[in-house]
Structure 1
Amino acid sequence: MARLSYMRIKYLFFSWLVVFVGSWIVYVQYSTYTELCRGHDCKKSICDKYKKGIIDGSACEGLCTKETLYFSKCLSTKPSHQMYLGIWGNLQGIIKCQMEETAHLDFGAELEPRREIIPFDKPTKGTTVQKFKEMVYSLFKAKLGDQGNLPELVGLILSVADGNKDGHVSLPEAKSAWALLQLNEFLLMVILQDKEHTPKLLGFCGDLYMMERVQYTSLYGISIPWIIEWFIPSGLRRSMDQWFTPSWPRKAKIAIGLLEFVEDIFHGPYGNFLMCDMSAKNLGYNDKYDLKMVDMRKIVPEMNVKQLIKDRHCESDLDCIFGTDCRTLCDQNRKKCTGDIIQPNLAKVCQLLKDYLLRGVPSEIREELEKQLYSCIALRVTAEQMEMEHSLILNSLKTLLWKKISHTTDS
């Protein structure tokens, strides 16, 4: 009888524990979802401004009046950056919307200046198209440097800003364009709109924009519930990431695409851009295994990075990191960060690709591939003839990979 009572108490205790833990998980998940997924607030804020005539853009009518563009699955990872699967007629894309933020730059987290709650204060009423062109030119000069082809880029922006394609940029369209130009990803989508590895801009309204959807949204890895991930050692997690990857020829094709993207942003027509977060989750690919960028918010004009990190107070080199992967040195005499970036994009890309490509690599090229990857990782911006060495290493890697896969059906 005593044993029966003990078993009953034990059963009740564990039943209560399961209910308590389950309720807690449901509560945490619900709280997290409601904080992260604020698509209704985002749409309301944008459409209120559109209906008041403050903003306009190619996606405004579909989003706010015809309702042919709507938010589907929530993909947000931060409350301030709302991200959703978007459906627009027969198009599928990714909708990104900026929510309320404070006006400061957090070097440890974001790489874009945070903005006030109302970001549509410029240009002001009465601003002529010529004056708006001058505003855009000055912004580009500050971000990209004084380059001779900036007027061409200004013209490209005005063409994109003309959402209804009537040959005229209205004040509401100009306000939308100005807000979007503060975002690195939007600027890159415009600059690289003809490049294979950049997702296409499908439409915008205010600072909300919709871009091409990428089918596979991480270079490698597997998604598992966060509650399980707590109990998995980091070493095992890295191994699991490598297990769940495409076949080696397909990985090589994806890697070639990433190397081509590095070429696109390395001293391109509008200067050099730095990849300041080399996370595999920022890179994706389509069903043909062509690399497509998933998130370009942390690809920043080099001049911008230098301005923001130079002369920051430091005690060690660890204080001179922008994002997670753009690093300079700490001048110990001045206790200030220098403005010289240590690693070029190519070295960071090779570090990311090392384990990815060496796992399952055909034995006949393993030694040569490993040698080239380590030479690539050792590349430094300060090296003599860096640009020549950069070009040689990049082309050698592409050639080695392509020669091995060009005859395979996977390529």
Structure 2
Amino acid sequence: MAKGLFPLAWVKKSFYFQARIYFVRVKYLFLTWLTVLVGSWVLYVQYSAYTELCRGHQCKNAICDKYRRGIIDGSACSSLCDKDTFYMSRCLSTLPNNQVYTGSWGDHEGIVRCHLGEVTHYEMGEEPEPHREAPVFETPTKGTSVEKFREMVFHHVKSKLGDQANLGGLVSVILSVADGNKDGKVSLPEARSTWALLQIDEVLLGLLLQERGHTPRLLGYCGDLYMTERVPHGPLYGFSIPWPLVSWVPGGLRRTVDQWFAPSWPRKAKISMGLLELVEDVFHGTYGSFLICDLAAARFGYTDGHELRLTDTRAVVPESQFRRGMRALRCETDAECVYGADCRTSCNAAEKRCREEPVRPNLAKACGTLKDYLLHGAPSALREELERQLYACMALKGDAGQLNMEHSLLLNNLKALLWRQISHTKDS
């Protein structure tokens, strides 16, 4: 009897084993199919996003068409459109109408920016309307003299910066940049390119700050396409978590990762000196006072020589413009009196309007950015005094009496403290 049962048990076991193998095959086939499906969908979404965001060929075609028609000209036009020695490579764009790429031009490595018009979306089967080109390059008009153009530039800069004593010098700098082929004259196509660039606030502010080395240099332009020098390290810590992972990484872990990749402390001190000098130069600078409305570490980078660069000048606003904006703003609470990321005033409850005076000056916000950056790894003999000065700096108020004196005293003390530590090192 036992002998008769053995083959049956073996058959059942064999059947069970085969069924299990079949189930495993089906399971893995399903998972493979699902992986291919999800992967294809992700690739499609990424490709769609890329083609929507990255339209460098459209930028180049539009600019070169106007150059060949004699509408615009500039220092990079011939290399971009005729010689093909001006290249746009990796796409960094985050907005479809603001194209950003890494690029190269001869021996220069840089960042290329090009402003396209608004992107229009059409439903399937919908006929697009005829393209109406924005009149970006219609000013100045034919027959405009160089002196008239100088006057136009002067009034434009004055409207942005207020009535400053040194605007004539700035206008001369701008006209020097406008002479793209360096023949001593500004042609009408060069003037049109320059005028288009001046409508982009970050270009104007970049020109203001680059003479002191605070921003990447403008290397060349054609129309409103322009290249600035590349800042090799950024943000302040020299490393940024890829954007798809940012929302998944806890803040504490992110700060730890930042410190792992940060430069050595003497180099951090040198970079910090650059930030303090930037704050000093924009407090009462050559062309007036400016507010930096986002002092996050992501706005800054540094060179191989550990010199600080402000990589996003959109965070900078002339104080006169800030005050006008606040004066026109109605409010119920202080929370409504915000300009940019963190330039704040208080609300005048009686008038229901925002006050003009910023609550925190640039220096207080800069010290808040530098606190974690500088205290981590600071020499033990310095740490206590450094911490005391940073916290005193962070407590500085914009509406405090004798702000100028306090500002200068705190800034000078902090710079002197850092300089004593690095003046004898090779990083100085």
**Normalising by the residue count of structure 2, what TM-score does the alignment of the two structures yield?**
0.87
Q: Say which structure is richer in helix.
A: 2
Q: For residue 61 of structure 1, what is the amino acid of its counterpart?
A: S
Residue 112 of structure 1 aligns with which residue? none
Q: For residue 121 of structure 1, what is the amino acid of its counterpart?
A: E
Q: For residue 7 of structure 1, what is the amino acid of its counterpart?
A: V
Change (3 A) 1:193 1:229: closer
Question: How far did residue 93 of structure 1 move?
Answer: 1.5
Tell me how far apart the structure 1 counterparts of residues 194 and 244 of structure 2 sit (CA, whole Å): 41
Tell me how far apart the structure 2 counterparts of residues 221 and 200 of structure 1 sit (CA, whole Å): 20
Q: 1:54 aligns with which of 71, 86, 107?
A: 71
Tell me how far apart the structure 2 counterparts of residues 87 and 198 of structure 1 sit (CA, whole Å): 19
Residue 273 of structure 2 aligns with which residue? 256
Residue 332 of structure 2 aligns with which residue? 315
The answer for unaligned runs of 5 or more in structure 1 is 103-115
Tell me how far apart the structure 2 counterparts of residues 125 and 207 of structure 1 sit (CA, whole Å): 19
The answer for unaligned runs of 5 or more in structure 2 is 1-15, 120-132
Q: For residue 362 of structure 2, what is the amino acid of its counterpart?
A: N
Q: 1:100 aligns with which of 101, 117, 120?
A: 117
Secondary structure of the residue that 1:67 maps to in structure 2?
A: coil
Residue 406 of structure 2 aligns with which residue? 389
Given that 2:238 and 2:263 are in contact with CA atoms closer than 8 Å, whether structure 1 keeps it comes out as no
Residue 205 of structure 1 aligns with which residue? 222
Q: 1:284 aligns with which of 301, 304, 326?
A: 301
Q: 2:394 aligns with which of 377, 386, 391?
A: 377
Given that 2:113 and 2:226 are in contact with CA atoms closer than 8 Å, whether structure 1 keeps it comes out as yes
Q: For residue 372 of structure 2, what is the amino acid of its counterpart?
A: D
Secondary structure of the residue that 2:42 maps to in structure 1?
A: helix
Q: Larger radius of gyration, structure 1 or 2?
A: 2
**1:232-266 residue CA offsets vs partner (Å, 9 max, x unmatched):** 22332233223321111111111011111112222
Q: Does 1 or 2 have the higher relative contact order (CA < 8 Å, sep 6+)?
A: 1
**1:132-185 residue CA offsets vs partner (Å, 9 max, x unmatched):** 222212112211111232222222211211111222212211111111112232
Question: How far did residue 401 of structure 1 move?
Answer: 1.0
Tell me how far apart the structure 2 counterparts of residues 285 and 223 of structure 1 sit (CA, whole Å): 13
Given that 2:240 and 2:258 are in contact with CA atoms closer than 8 Å, whether structure 1 keeps it comes out as no
**1:281-314 residue CA offsets vs partner (Å, 9 max, x unmatched):** 2211111211122221221211122223332233
Tell me how far apart the structure 2 counterparts of residues 33 and 121 of structure 1 sit (CA, whole Å): 31
Change (3 A) 1:265 1:28: same
Matches within 5 A, 1:70-219: 70-101=87-118, 117-219=134-236
Secondary structure of the residue that 2:182 maps to in structure 1?
A: coil
Given that 2:234 and 2:240 are in contact with CA atoms closer than 8 Å, whether structure 1 keeps it comes out as no
**Normalising by the residue count of structure 1, what TM-score does the alignment of the two structures yield?**
0.91
Tell me how far apart the structure 1 counterparts of residues 26 and 332 of structure 2 sit (CA, whole Å): 58
Tell me how far apart the structure 1 counterparts of residues 72 and 369 of structure 2 sit (CA, whole Å): 41
Change (3 A) 1:80 1:337: farther
Given that 1:250 and 1:410 are in contact with CA atoms closer than 8 Å, whether structure 2 keeps it comes out as yes
Are 1:236 and 2:236 matched, yes or no? no
**Greater mean alpha carbon deviation, residues 230-239 or residues 64-73:** 230-239
Secondary structure of the residue that 1:127 maps to in structure 2?
A: coil
